[in-house]
Amino acid sequence: MNTPTIKEQSTYTENGIIYPSKVMLDLNKLKKVYPTPKGEYVVLEDLNLQIMREEFVTIIGHSGCGKTTMLSMIAGLNPISGGNISVLGNPVKGPGPDRGVIFQSPSLMPWMTALQNVMLGVDQVFSHATKVQRRDIAKYYLHKVGLEGAFHKKAIELSQGMQQRVGIARAFAIKPKVLLLDEPFGMLDSLTRGELQDILIEIWNKEKITAVMITHDVDEAIFLADRVIMMTSGPKAKIGDVLNINFERPRTRKDVLEHPDYYQYRKHLIDFLEH
């Protein structure tokens, strides 16, 4: 098996019983500095954030405040300048399949079919499984995102929306501990975006993978999240405010829009963004 087995080090005690920690992701005094020709640019400083198991968190903040920077540091694709990030108590040292990423652009290999793109990850992570089992996993997730008719279509022949569906299937199929999403629907029209939100939340309801998603869309942030994290504007951005979304799950778009608290939540977020 290629995934390093992670010892779940952090625990918490309740009534004398030791439970595995509820904290999945821990960002502690996180700092990021980019060297620029005009000197050092401190994007993030003293950023603290804890994300629980089975939690769906959305992150909003002004453009350029450092959301992508933070997410790519969690993914291990961007070096940490100070502080630390840990997943289940293990410090993040580099990228790995325990943290699946859905990028803003679908980032599929255009020369591969939809199935091959999903298989790329499945083959790698479940290398101990048989070929048939691996194919079944990949097909299952492609089915889940509504692409059962497009297994053998080349990625380049798929529409943007369909490509991003493959991206979702690819991310879930490797069964990560944490799912990181950077404006995954930002490039889509609003109709397609709605469809994909529904697909995402449907799979998520079943798998309950801890998810951290950046979005610019306030409604999307509320609809998907258990908590909305608001980041202050940079430089030296940190967590500005946190809003708990107390709608029960599974939720439908209609339930959410008709809920009496909805406009309260919306106003809270917009007020934050406008100051």
Partner 1 sequence: MKQSLTMQKVTQLIGLGSLKSLSNLFSGKIGKDGVTLMLKKVVAPLASILLFIGLWHSGAKALYNMEADFKIEKALNDQGEKAADEMRACIAAGETGCQPNTLPSPAQVWASYKSLLKDHNAIRADKLAFKEKTAAMNAKRIAEGKDAITYTGRPSFVDQIMTSLKTVFAGFLLALLIAVPIGILIGLSDTLRSSVNWLIQILKPVSPVVWLLLVFMIVKTMTKNSESDSAFIISFISVGLCAMWPTLVNTAMGVASVDKDYINVAKVLKLGAVQKVFKVILPSSLPLIFTGLRITLSVAWMVLIAIELLAQSPGLGSFVWEEFQNGAMDSNSKIIVAMFVIGIIGFLLDRIMLTIQQMVSFNKNEGV
Ligand X SMILES: Nc1ncnc2c1ncn2[C@@H]1O[C@H](COP(=O)(O)OP(=O)(O)OP(=O)(O)O)[C@@H](O)[C@H]1O
Cα(73)–Cα(128) distance, rounded to whole angstroms? 29
Going by C-beta distance under 8 Å and a sequence separation of 6 or more, which residues neighbour residue 121? 97, 170, 173, 174
Under 8 Å between Cβ of 67 and 59: yes
Shortest approach of ligand X to residue 160 CB, angstroms?
18
**Segment interacting with partner 1 (CB under 8 A) among 21-29, 39-47, 75-83, 229-237:** 75-83
Which has the closest alpha carbon to 201: 218, 178, 177, 225?
A: 225
Residues 156 and 160: their CA atoms lie apart, in Å, by: 9
Residue 2 interacting partner from Mg ion, partner 1, ligand X, none (CB closer than 5 to 8 Å by kind): partner 1
Handedness of CA 98, 103, 106, 111 (dihedral sign): negative
Binding segment toward partner 1, per CB under 8 A, in 28-36, 91-99, 226-234, 264-272:
91-99
**64-72, 125-133, 249-257, 261-269 -> range binding ligand X (CB under 6 A):** 64-72
Q: Is 100 in the site for ligand X (CB under 6 A)?
A: no
Q: Choose the contact partner of 161 out of partner 1, Mg ion, ligand X, none; CB within 5 to 8 A by kind.
A: none
Q: Please, what sign has the CA dihedral across residues 177, 178, 179, 180?
A: negative
Question: Half-sphere exposure of 189 toward its Cβ, with a 13 Å CA cutoff?
Answer: 5
Q: How far is the CB of 49 from ligand X (least distance, A)?
A: 15
Q: Kindly state whether residue 83 participates in binding partner 1, applying the rule CB under 8 A.
A: no
Q: Is 124 near partner 1 (CB under 8 A)? A: yes
Residue 120 near partner 1 by CB under 8 A: yes
Provide the 8-state DSSP code for 113: B
Site string for ligand X, 15-34 (x = CB under 6 A): -------------------x
Residue 240 CA to residue 60 CA, distance in Å, equals: 10
Residues contributing to the site for ligand X (CB under 6 A): 34, 36, 41, 43, 61, 63-69, 234
Binding site for partner 1 (CB under 8 A): 2, 75-77, 94-97, 99-101, 103, 105, 107, 109-112, 120-121, 124-125, 154, 156, 174
